[in-house]
Amino acid sequence: MSARGSVEVGQELPELVKHPTPRQLVQYAGAQGDFYEIHYDQEYARSVGLPGVILHGLLKAGFLGQLVTDWLGDRGKLITFEVTYRGVDEPGHPYRCRGRVTNVDGDDVELEVWGEDEAGKRTTVGSANVQLDR
Amino acid sequence: MTTTDTVVDRLRARIGVDGSAVTAPIEAGHVRRFVEAIGDPNPRWQKETPPTFLVALAPASSHLAEAEEYGKGWLNGGNRFEYLAPVLIGDVITATGHVADVYEKEGSSGNLLFIIFETEYTNQRGDLVARLRGTLIRR
């Protein structure tokens, strides 16, 4: 079966649940080179009006990127990937990454992706365009 | 003129002006640490870079020091990646970025300053491999 044959509008991507910890935030800060204090210093985070340290938006983008590349596998390539951060997330709470196919036009597939907090609130929303191999 | 106007005007004057380019090799160890931090064990990342890796290449250039006179903290509003060619371990990538737009918006708890930053990435052969558009917010 061709890659295209198995992709249909409405299809859900297998969900990816992450369990971010303060340690992971420090690990990510080092790997990305983003040492903004709101990601590891509770006192600093609260002083700028946050509930405490929060996940890097780009870490959440990394989770959603993984959601997409896990689903896509070697069936094609990523053309665009876009995320908007709508809410903050604190470590110590599960972060659920989900997505679904919103359009299929020949080999071009559009996906909607999002990250949900424990309450089901979409704190990150985004989309991706992929091109399936023929 | 208030301080706020001055900061916004100074930032607006930089719209479209390229910052200094940053050139860096894509190192296997760096990519490994990056995907370990995300918790993405896909063996593909032993050869190529995952979708968001390019943000780790240049320092957080986007945190423009002069914008820090505005508000008290930064928030990341969003990121858009466009991929034109694969970025492989061993490539040498040059990132060039500029401020694409600066504007203020009224938020629920005070004004917000939006800075749109665009970066283009080229490889050692001069091929454009990716573009990134980021929205940074001072609040």
Q: Output the pTM of the full model.
A: 0.94
CA distances to A20, B39, B131, B133 from A93, rounded to whole Å, are 7, 16, 32, 29
Averaged pLDDT, B43-56 = 97
> Do B34 and A31 make contact, defined as CB atoms within 8 angstroms?
yes
Which residue, among A18, A25, A32, would best test binding to B if mutated, counting the most B CBs under 10 Å from its CB? A32
Domain contains A70:
yes
Confidence at residue A121, expressed as pLDDT on a 0 to 100 scale: 97
> Do B83 and A81 make contact, defined as CB atoms within 8 angstroms?
yes
> Do A48 and B79 make contact, defined as CB atoms within 8 angstroms?
no
Asked if pLDDT for residue B69 goes beyond 90, the answer is no
pLDDT digits (tens, 9 = 90+) for A35-77: 999 999 999 999 999 999 999 999 999 999 999 999 999 999 9
Note down the domain range covering B45.
3-138
Number of domains in chain A: 1
Domain contains A32:
no
CATH number of the domain within which A97 lies: 3.10.129.10
Contact A133, A76 (CB under 8 A): yes
Number of domains in chain B: 1
Domain contains A36:
no
Contact B100, B117 (CB under 8 A): yes
Asked if pLDDT for residue B66 goes beyond 90, the answer is no
pLDDT digits (tens, 9 = 90+) for A76-122: 999 999 999 999 999 999 999 999 999 999 999 999 999 999 999 99
CATH number of the domain within which B132 lies: 3.10.129.10
Averaged pLDDT, A4-23 = 93
Domain contains A28:
no
Domain contains A45:
no
Contact A78, A69 (CB under 8 A): yes
Confidence at residue A97, expressed as pLDDT on a 0 to 100 scale: 98
**Helix or strand holding residue B3 (H, E):** helix B3-12
Note down the domain range covering A72.
4-21+55-132
